[in-house]
Structure 1
Amino acid sequence: MTRHPGGTGAFVPAKTPSEVRPVWAAFRSQVVATPEATALVVGGVSLTYRELDHATAGLARLLWQHGLRPGRVVCVRTQQSALSVVAMLAALRTGATWAVLEPDLPVGRFEALCRDVDCAVVLSEGGDAVPVSALAAMPAPPTVVDAADLPLTRLVQAGQELPSDPYPPVPEQSPAYVAYTSGSTGVPKGVLVSRGQLAASISCRGPVYGTEHSVFLIALRLSFDGILGGMFWSLTGGHTLVLPDPRQLVRVAEFVRLAREHRVTHLFNIPSYYRAVLQDPGGLPDTLRLVVVGGEVCTPQLVGAHHERLPRTPIVNEYGPTETTIACTVETDPDPARDRVPIGRPWPGVRTLVLDERLREVPAGERGELYVGGSLVAIGYANQPARTAERFIADPHGRPGGRLYRTGDIASVDERGALHYHGRTDDQAKIRGTRIELGEIASVLESHPGVEQAVVLCEHAGQDEPQVIAFVLPTPGSGPPDASKLREHCRGRLVEQATPALFIPVDHMPLDRSTKADRAALRRLIPTHRQASGGTAGGDWSGHRLAVARIWAEVLGHSGSGPDDNFFAVGGSSMKVIDLHDRLDKRWPEALRVGELFDCITIAAQAQRIADRLGEPALGETYAPPATYEL
């Protein structure tokens, strides 16, 4: 049961399976009904429903010629673009499966995909996106198709010339996509979601998203499954989908300008990103009818800031692991006056249970582990039957044959029947909307020759959002490994959000009574007063560089950044960029614009830019930096 966000209080009944229309059929019906309506806008490229359909037909035929079939996968390893969306639709058209893995995602995820599924084709963007070494190790490597050879105009023309689709029908139980998440053993997990599960998730959204024609802007990348709800709700309902290109996504001011340019009516963000959007002086357009947040914890402070800035625009909070097909619960009217924002009530067709360790339901108000059942529970993990059996269990409270997904999230039900999130039972966390596994990070660090053991925590540490903090025990006979070298080791193996913001060397790993790493003792080692141990990367430290470095330390809460480290890889975020700009502007008024900080992302570059504007040298007398910046 869900409530319309407009405050009518009208509830809608759960849809029966017969009412759920297949996603591809729903899209095709919109092509017939509104062929000249704008379907997709990405990075300055605009396609009507007819053009999008023709481009999809042209690419589907090409991928089919390269061996794409039902049961096989096309890997979309391109930057976010109209072609990326066309490729996803082409997979639906042929009955095959898609997996989006942008080129900047770790190559380990691409290798895991090729290990776990039958990858037939890789749509690639340049030679570096698909390493030759990875392909050489495969007994039957996929065909690599260069996206540069596939201009949209040519695909549209090719699709116009095709008389009909030759593809056989596939059952709705067939996989639609595989989405990769972190794995606790260091091996990424591919979550398989069926066409029917995707359709069921999309069919739930009408009563919350509304029925009027909409322009939906989504602040996510296509590899993040949270994008799929608004994306396919738009494309199956005759609405307009607007997606930022990579540059527009990282530049909040450009993203907000995109919203104004297209007069968007619907907006999806992760909460940390939305905080920065609300602070943009340009402001969102007055056409906005609904804001949706999801992917991480939504706070009462954020809801309050939203109501203050957009008093007439409803905000809803969605929750759901990848294994429950995009989102499984929704809170349609969060109250900023309450202590916490609920994750809400289940979508139609979804069952949520809060159970104890013996799988018994706990009383209202008490905490237990959240289990999810119903039509949105995914197929399982690709090529990982043991892991699937561990997390997808038989439903002891439902009909025979039913399954529950064990989320690992601690939850409770309040007096109104709404679910509340209280953290994790394991070592998972979400950083800026991306789920990470602390065990995976530790495994990657322990593969470094200078690290004997690593323990990773996710802590607020006085910050406005969690930080990944790694405690590293050096290998015998070696000194503490350099933080910049450890950070470089993590790049290419971990997503940006999982790269530790802070490395703390220890001379021994404290143990608790069960001989496990004593996390409470490790937390006491986290530096206070916004200083950090662990050394500072080498390089020239003087003049503006040292001054900028001290400001970075104030913003990030640690001083472990080298002159050439990426701000976003050492704990920075879109929200912290605003804080960084405020502090830099106070020291050097109008020397830097906030938008420049999304391109100018290192201490060295920012110091040089400031020096250039002031007509001063960036470096003065060179000397070695202290172990920590004195704040």
Structure 2
Amino acid sequence: MTRDAGGTDRFVPADAPTEVRPVWAAFRSQVVRTPETTALIIGGISLTYRELDQASAGLAQLLWQHGLRPGRVVCVRTQQSALSVIAMLAALRTGSTWAVLEPDLPVGRFEALCRDTDCAVVLSEGDDAVPASVLSAMPAPPAVVDAAGLDPARLVEAGRELPTDPYPPVPEQSPAYVAYTSGSTGVPKGVMVGRDQFAASIGCRGPVYGTERSVFLIALRLSFDGILGGMFWSLTGGHTLVLPDPRQLVQVGQFTRLAREHRVTHLFNIPSYYRAVLQDPGGLPDTLRMVVVGGEECTPGMVAAHHERLPGVRFVNEYGPTETTIACTVETDPDPTGDRIPIGRPWPGTRALVLDERLREVPAGQRGELYVGGSLVALGYANQPALTAGRFVADPYGRPGGRLYRTGDITSVDERGTLHYHGRTDDQAKIRGARIELGEIASVLESHPGVAQAVVLCERAGQDEPQVIAFVLPTPGSGPPDASKLREHCRGRLVEQATPSLFVPVDPIPLDRSTKADRAALRRLIPAGRQASPGTAGGDWSGHRLAVGRIWAEVLGHSGSGPDDNFFAVGGSSMKVIDLHDRLDKRWPEALRVGELFDHVTIAAQARRIADHLGERAHGEEPAPPATYEL
């Protein structure tokens, strides 16, 4: 740490990386040092370091019997649970590679994993098993292990009886994990991260996260690589890791209750989720020492809200694409009075260069594209050498053979050496922590028989979260495709955040002078004041649904929502939830608390709650489980 001119402690990284210990060795040292300390809490299950080690040994043996070896991949296709974490540790233990792909992610990502890597084993469970049709189409399908019977307690017992690990040592340059992200051509791409890069990223965090005994709660799914920093910093440092189960993650009230129950000291969120956490009336515990955000742009307003609600709790903003191993820069204690929140300075051992189109460094204050070099640059994309060569380029400023990752992010560096983010150079965007490719969305839409061409934009209104808007040219002879049917077509093919919230029929697509889609002209076609009453979307509009639907249209700016659509899938955001609550509360005072809007996120569910509050019986509405806030 160093103190700046204003008297604020700030993290200033060293020029060289700190001493790096392999992640598996660091975890095992904690098993020896603090065997009875609680290592993991998730879904009502608590495991000590000794038990977590034994469980990973038991699962490693089982996966090895099914063909898992160094250089091969285990696909963890289970709901977030203790077993998911045990499987990741089992992969480290055997020298193999893990890839977490939860069952609700598009099956195309699993197919891409099997195409791009040597996937030996799939760990799946019950109704979430890999479709037989998908496996039968593969020339050499992986073995499928049913996780339903793999209780952590049984794995602990199995591991306790095993002798010393029989697994061969592997080079630290071997892949530790593969993280899948969207691809601009519609084909997902897998980022391969080496064990040494993973270890370097975890080893950087001590000077920022601190050395005191900690309890770290992370509001992310395991398929997001952003979870790995806090997760393995905890497991290699003798701390306690707390993870929400799927229900606790999507219901903010339960998440903050989890934080209070376990007296957490550290919290990691993506900014849009943290906005909702700050609104929860239950609040966070007084033990909290640090909040870390990452995964999408952090705004001054959110930092100001943090300081107002949690004075004295440190705030950290991390930045980094998946290709730079979790995060490559960090800003501690950002000032909320500025125009934007910096993305900070590089972690130790990392180099950040702001370059022009000829790979020349730009002067301080000027904008250029951010290139990242050093120990955190990933191995590349699995089975995609051309794409790897286009994004991982030779480093003209470093040692021979060094590489830079071309981020595609527009940044500037100020006179203090702090980086600032100014947007993208291409068609990528981040929404609620998920990186999406506009080209992938267009490709999926064009596979619909009613769409001849699609152009997709990601627009931000003020400081609100981005909104995905699709402009669709109907196929000849057909009318404008129904928005609800297009949205249904996107489900199962795209992650929730990538599903467009608004579909605008266009005939023809306007072109610019270079005959490309004229995006400026398309922006002018976005309906202003899109507050028409619902009805264009199908469904039952009886009871209070019509009134609630009209309020949704006012908040979202469009009328394309059906009674059973997820608010966050049709353009809603944590900031828009506040607006929605204000409007609903004016019409039906105290019928719904703001936190309940993260549990009941369909028009039908909200209408049902209003009817219950008024003592009415909602016509034709059967009770249904609360819907979810998608991460």
* Deviation, structure 1 residue 462: 5.6
Could you say which residue in structure 1 is the equivalent of 2:14? 13
Where do 1:395-410 residues align within 5 Å?
A: 395-410=395-410
1:480 and 1:58 mapped to 2: Cα distance?
56
* Deviation, structure 1 residue 466: 0.6
* Deviation, structure 1 residue 204: 0.5
* Deviation, structure 1 residue 596: 3.9
Could you say which residue in structure 2 is the equivalent of 1:261? 261
Could you say which residue in structure 2 is the equivalent of 1:163? 163
Where do 1:580-595 residues align within 5 Å?
A: 580-595=580-595
| CA contact 2:534–2:546 (8 Å) conserved in 1 | no
| CA contact 2:501–2:570 (8 Å) conserved in 1 | yes
* Deviation, structure 1 residue 254: 1.1
| Letter of the 2:266 counterpart | H
| Letter of the 2:548 counterpart | V
| CA contact 1:288–1:313 (8 Å) conserved in 2 | yes
| CA contact 1:2–1:12 (8 Å) conserved in 2 | no
Could you say which residue in structure 2 is the equivalent of 1:390? 390
2:11 and 2:105 mapped to 1: Cα distance?
43
| Letter of the 2:611 counterpart | A
| Letter of the 1:118 counterpart | D
| Letter of the 1:520 counterpart | A
Could you say which residue in structure 1 is the equivalent of 2:301? 301
Unpaired segments ≥5 residues, structure 2:
621-631
Where do 1:17-416 residues align within 5 Å?
A: 19-416=19-416
* Deviation, structure 1 residue 268: 0.6
* Deviation, structure 1 residue 468: 0.3
| CA contact 2:10–2:332 (8 Å) conserved in 1 | no
Cα distance change of structure 1 residues 94 and 383 upon mapping to structure 2, 3 Å threshold = same
2:125 and 2:545 mapped to 1: Cα distance?
36
| CA contact 2:321–2:327 (8 Å) conserved in 1 | yes
Query: Once the two structures are superposed, what CA deviation does each residue of 1:439-469 show, in whole Å capped at 9, x if it has no partner?
Result: 0000000000000000000002467111000
| CA contact 1:329–1:343 (8 Å) conserved in 2 | yes
Cα distance change of structure 1 residues 31 and 66 upon mapping to structure 2, 3 Å threshold = same
* Deviation, structure 1 residue 568: 2.2
Matched residue SS, 2:508: coil
1:41 and 1:582 mapped to 2: Cα distance?
36
Question: Percent of aligned positions with the same letter in both sequences?
Answer: 86
Where do 1:613-628 residues align within 5 Å?
A: 613-616=613-616, 618=618
Q: Does 1:559 align with 2:559?
A: yes
2:595 and 2:236 mapped to 1: Cα distance?
35
Aligned length: 619
* Deviation, structure 1 residue 559: 1.4
* Deviation, structure 1 residue 581: 3.0
1:9 and 1:73 mapped to 2: Cα distance?
40
Matched residue SS, 2:305: helix
1:218 and 1:616 mapped to 2: Cα distance?
40
* Deviation, structure 1 residue 613: 3.4
| CA contact 2:183–2:437 (8 Å) conserved in 1 | yes
1:582 and 1:252 mapped to 2: Cα distance?
18
Cα distance change of structure 1 residues 478 and 346 upon mapping to structure 2, 3 Å threshold = same
2:164 and 2:537 mapped to 1: Cα distance?
60
Cα distance change of structure 1 residues 108 and 248 upon mapping to structure 2, 3 Å threshold = same
2:311 and 2:351 mapped to 1: Cα distance?
33
1:21 and 1:342 mapped to 2: Cα distance?
30
| Letter of the 2:280 counterpart | D
| CA contact 1:499–1:570 (8 Å) conserved in 2 | yes
1:325 and 1:3 mapped to 2: Cα distance?
28
| CA contact 1:541–1:619 (8 Å) conserved in 2 | no
2:397 and 2:586 mapped to 1: Cα distance?
60
Query: Once structures 1 and 2 are overlaid, which stretch shifts more, 575-584 or 347-356?
Result: 575-584
| CA contact 1:3–1:207 (8 Å) conserved in 2 | no
Query: Once structures 1 and 2 are overlaid, which stretch shifts more, 473-482 or 525-534?
Result: 525-534
Q: Does 1:568 align with 2:582?
A: no
* Deviation, structure 1 residue 609: 3.1
| Letter of the 1:238 counterpart | G
Query: Once the two structures are superposed, what CA deviation does each residue of 1:567-591 show, in whole Å capped at 9, x if it has no partner?
Result: 2211223443343333223212233
* Deviation, structure 1 residue 531: 3.0
What value does the CA root-mean-square deviation take over the aligned residues?
Answer: 1.9
Query: Once the two structures are superposed, what CA deviation does each residue of 1:144-178 show, in whole Å capped at 9, x if it has no partner?
Result: 11111101111000000001100000000000000
| CA contact 1:526–1:532 (8 Å) conserved in 2 | no
| CA contact 1:2–1:348 (8 Å) conserved in 2 | no
1:302 and 1:461 mapped to 2: Cα distance?
16
Cα distance change of structure 1 residues 532 and 220 upon mapping to structure 2, 3 Å threshold = farther
TM-score of the two chains, using structure 1 as the length reference: 0.95
Cα distance change of structure 1 residues 475 and 537 upon mapping to structure 2, 3 Å threshold = same
* Deviation, structure 1 residue 34: 0.2
| Letter of the 2:609 counterpart | R
| CA contact 2:295–2:433 (8 Å) conserved in 1 | yes
* Deviation, structure 1 residue 595: 4.3
Could you say which residue in structure 1 is the equivalent of 2:546? 546
TM-score of the two chains, using structure 2 as the length reference: 0.95
1:400 and 1:185 mapped to 2: Cα distance?
32
Query: Once the two structures are superposed, what CA deviation does each residue of 1:59-113 show, in whole Å capped at 9, x if it has no partner?
Result: 0000000000000000011111111000000000000000001111111111111
| CA contact 1:505–1:534 (8 Å) conserved in 2 | no
Cα distance change of structure 1 residues 525 and 87 upon mapping to structure 2, 3 Å threshold = same
1:482 and 1:277 mapped to 2: Cα distance?
35
Matched residue SS, 1:236: helix
Unpaired segments ≥5 residues, structure 1:
621-631
Where do 1:413-424 residues align within 5 Å?
A: 413-424=413-424
| CA contact 2:2–2:10 (8 Å) conserved in 1 | no
Query: Once the two structures are superposed, what CA deviation does each residue of 1:276-315 show, in whole Å capped at 9, x if it has no partner?
Result: 1111111111111111111111111111111111121110
1:219 and 1:126 mapped to 2: Cα distance?
25
* Deviation, structure 1 residue 241: 0.4
| CA contact 1:221–1:227 (8 Å) conserved in 2 | yes
2:198 and 2:7 mapped to 1: Cα distance?
26
| CA contact 1:27–1:237 (8 Å) conserved in 2 | yes
1:532 and 1:175 mapped to 2: Cα distance?
52
2:339 and 2:165 mapped to 1: Cα distance?
54
1:286 and 1:462 mapped to 2: Cα distance?
33
Query: Once structures 1 and 2 are overlaid, which stretch shifts more, 110-119 or 531-540?
Result: 531-540
Query: Once structures 1 and 2 are overlaid, which stretch shifts more, 1-10 or 284-293?
Result: 1-10
